[in-house]
Structure formats: C-alpha cells, structure tokens
Amino acid sequence: MDAGSHSISSEKSRAAAAASRPPLQEAGCRPYMPSLSTGSRNPSTKCYGDRFIPDRSAMDMDMAHYLLTEPRKDKENAAAASPSKEAYRRLLAEKLLNNRTRILAFRNKPPEPENVLAADMASSYHAKPAKQRRHIPQSAERTLDAPELVDDYYLNLLDWGSNNVLSIALGDTVYLWDASNGSTSELVTVDEDTGPITSVSWAPDGRHIAVGLNSSDVQLWDTSSNRLLRTLRGVHEARVGSLAWNNSILTTGGMDGKIVNNDVRIRNHVVQTYEGHSQEVCGLKWSGSGQQLASGGNDNLLHIWDVSMASSMQSAGHNQWLHRLEDHTAAVKALAWCPFQSNLLATGGGGSDRCIKFWNTHTGACLNSVDTGSQVCALLWNKNERELLSSHGFTQNQLTLWKYPSMVKMAELTGHTSRVLFMAQSPDGCTVASAAADETLRFWNVFGSPEAPKPAAKASHTGMFNSFNHIR
C-alpha cells in the first residue's frame, strides 16, 4: 500500500493557510536559456592553391618536358616505326604515364586522411547527415502555485483536454487554466460534505468534463457554459478516484473496487460492470483503439479487460477479465498505452515495488521490468519519439525520461520538492504538466517541438452530449 488516503482531513485543515495564495498564479519566471547556435570559425583552415595561377611546387617538370617534346618525336619517327612497335610504345606510355595529359598544375591535392576510419566516417557523414540530438531543458518552463492540492497517491486530479485547457482539482474546487492565453477560471466548488474532489477527466471533445467526488457521486459539466449537465449517483459506494473516457462511455473506478461503464447519453447510464479488484481502483486507461481497458488497484493487481469478451462472457452485467497480472508488489496507479504499438502497455508500481513493467496485452506476457529506485506515480509516452516519461516520489521527486526499448535514462528533471503525483500531456504532445505535493504545477518542454501544428478536432465528438437537455 502507498501512503496517501489518510491525508484528506489534514488537507482541509490547511485550507485557511492556503487561502492567501491565489491558485494557478506564476510562482517563478521562465528561466533564461542560452542560444544553442554556434558560429565559430577555424583560423587554422589551409588554402590549397589557386584556381587560375599555376603552382610550380605541384608540377612534375620532367613529365611536363616529356609531354611537350614527345609529339614532335612521334612525327619524326612515324615513318620508321612498325605497327607492332607503335602499339607497344603506346601501351608502355599508357602504363607509365597513367593517362596523365595535363602539363600545368593549378592546385595541390587535398591532404590524405590520417587513416581509413577517418575517411570512412567522412564519406558516411556526407552521404547521410547524422540526426541532431534534441535539447532537453533541465528546468521547468513555467511554475504555477497549486494551493490545497490533496497529497494522495490514489487520486487523479490533473488532466489536459483536447481544446488546450488544463483542469486541476485543488481541495473542493476545480480550476481551468487555458494554455493558449494563460487565463484561469473556476469551474465548480463543491460542498464540504461531498468533497474534496477526487478525480477529473476531460471528454474527447475537450468541452465536457467529468468530476469524481469523495461522496461517490460523479458530475458532468459543460465548461463552455459552466453548467452542470447531470450527476451520476448510486454507481459506487465510496469515493471515485479514477475516470477514463471511451467515446461516449465514461468508465469510473472507486474505492469499493468496482469499475463501471456509464453511457452518458442515456438515462439508465450503467451498462457494464467489471469486478476484479478487492481494494481501491486507482488507475484506469482505455487503449487507443478503445478495445481494451487497463485497470490498476491498491491490491497490487493489474487487469486487462477486452470489449470483445463483453458479449460472450458477460453474466448479469459483469465482465470477466482477459488477463489478471500479479507481478507488481505495490499499488498500480501509473498506466500508459503505447501510441506506436497498440498492444504495448507500460505500468508503474508504488513505493514497495518501484518498477516500470511492459506488457503484451494480447498474450499477458511481461516483456521487461526496470527498477527505478523510487515510487512510480505517473507515466506518459512521447507521441513523436520512442520515449517514456515517468514521475516519482521519494527520494528525488524527479521526472525521468527513458529511451525505449533500451530504457536508458535520457534526462532527469528536478525542481519539485515533494512526490510528483500527477502528470498530463498537452494536445500537441510536446509539453508535460506535473503537479506535486509541494503544491506547485510545473510545465516541462520535455518532448520537443511539434513538426507542424495540428488543430484540435472538434466535429468528431460534438454529438455526444446532445441529449442532456432531455435528461431529468
């Protein structure tokens, strides 16, 4: 088990002290980054002659004399020479002169390479230029205050929507930070008897958001009008700490160990239930195809659920898991599906486990396991390169960038002074936001710059919430 769930009451006692700190305000300025371009010149560069002035030091004077006088001798002796002798003479001249016909030399030959390896490297460099290594800034691009952020490993309080708006739950309030202009707005503040807020998750359209509560309810909000659309009640018997969207299906995971699929378009929203965890469900992630669901719990279990098994294995609304994986020795919260291999899943274990594991979700095989040395709180794949980012707790509270599949460390980003509980990725996949128990929200340009900006798709999910006006 990982410490965290007992901290809700202590967080409420700190609310008064934190009230003087406005949320999501700059806690520091952007660090100065020196230019990476260099324009140095090499003063020792040598010049090897001139294009139009002959260079006597490079000329073979004997050879030049021979080439000047030989044609005249050929004409004088042409009548006396037999055809066989003439052929022999020409062959001998060709071998000795090596087809040299130029008399004047205008520049020296370039110096020979010191060794064959240098020559090979030079030729390969000109044939195929090497890819420049991406610069990874070691400090946060921006830091914002996040007072009253609940220090609880099992919650999920940060998400970045497709419309480039970041949501974060601070105590009983959900705040929205628009990354395009840096503006902050308050979405909702819940009552103390229903709070604090235990999870937030943007719908695929980037306009609607689900909010999980400590009271076991789940609220659905329209952020464009700040309007509460509906409240899902009676789904769970305890707090809802994890949320995941699959088109119009909102999957919720609770402290009661249940996982529920809710179709937000219909009145009777509960459509499927997954039962496999005996303790709190702290991690939920749908695969990119929407065919498989990964769930992690405080019981150290990882489950893979497959949509194709819903019809064949379903009994009284309950689904059977595809794989039940017991390799982790601590709570499994960090889950990340690979963007370039659909059946590859990365998972991270808590303080007693400290490992990142990779799974083939078709077979259930563990492909690799890496001991990171500290609690794994969150995982994110780079959408443009084969890289994985992990955030950690004790003792360094760092973000670590790994090269996949070698799992060589590319960078370690430090700055947080307490465990980095949550991470979220910008829509373009380049910037990562991290929220830690030190009550700061930091932005890292860890995944580089996009090759070309891609506008967020809006039309594909617009019809999801059309029926909310008719729900009572």
pLDDT recorded at residue 86: 76
Of residues 38 and 303, which shows the higher confidence score?
Answer: 303
Q: What is the pLDDT of residue 42?
A: 44
pLDDT for the residue 54: 64
The percentage of residues in the chain with a pLDDT greater than 90, rounded to a whole number, is 63
d(CA 353, CA 338): 22
Highest mean pLDDT among 30-39, 309-318, 356-365: 356-365
- The reported pLDDT for the residue numbered 240 is 98
CB 271 within 8 A of CB 230: no
> What's the pLDDT at 216?
97
H or E stretch covering 73:
helix 61-76
Model confidence pLDDT, tens digit, residues 322-355: 999 999 999 999 999 999 999 999 999 999 999 9
Sorting pLDDT into bands at 50, 70 and 90, what band is 33?
very low
What is the structure's pLDDT at 109?
55
Q: Which residues pair with 176 in a beta bridge?
A: 167, 185
Confidence of residue 133 (pLDDT cuts 50, 70, 90): confident
With cut-offs at 50, 70 and 90, classify the pLDDT of residue 131.
Answer: low
- The count of other CB atoms within 10 Å of the CB of residue 305 is 23
Is this model's pTM higher than 0.95 or not? no
Computed over every residue of the chain, the mean pLDDT equals 83
Does residue 105 have a pLDDT over 70?
Answer: no
What SS3 state is found at 333?
Answer: strand
* pLDDT recorded at residue 173: 98
CA distance linking residue 125 with residue 131, whole number of Å = 11
Q: Name the DSSP letter for residue 315.
A: B
At 81-94, the pLDDT tens digits run 677 777 777 777 77
**Look-up of token digits 């489950």:** 303
**Termini Cα distance of the chain:** 41
- Point out the least confidently predicted range of 66-80, 155-169, 211-225: 66-80
Query: Looking at 249-322, which runs of residues are DSSP E strands?
Result: 249-254, 258-263, 270-275, 281-286, 292-297, 302-306, 318-319
Distance of CA 463 to the CA centre of its chain: 30
The mean pLDDT value for 205-233 works out to: 97
pLDDT tens by residue, 442-463: 999 999 877 655 555 544 454 5
3-class SS of residue 129: coil
Q: At 377, which helix (H) or strand (E)?
A: strand 376-381
Name the 3-class secondary structure at 310. helix
8-state DSSP, 238 = S
Largest CA distance in the chain: 123
Among the listed residues 346, 333, 423, 413, the one whose alpha carbon sits nearest the alpha carbon of residue 375: 333
* Half-sphere CA count of 130, side-chain side, radius 13 A: 8
∠ CA 164-166-168, nearest 5°, is: 170
Average confidence (pLDDT) over 114-136: 60
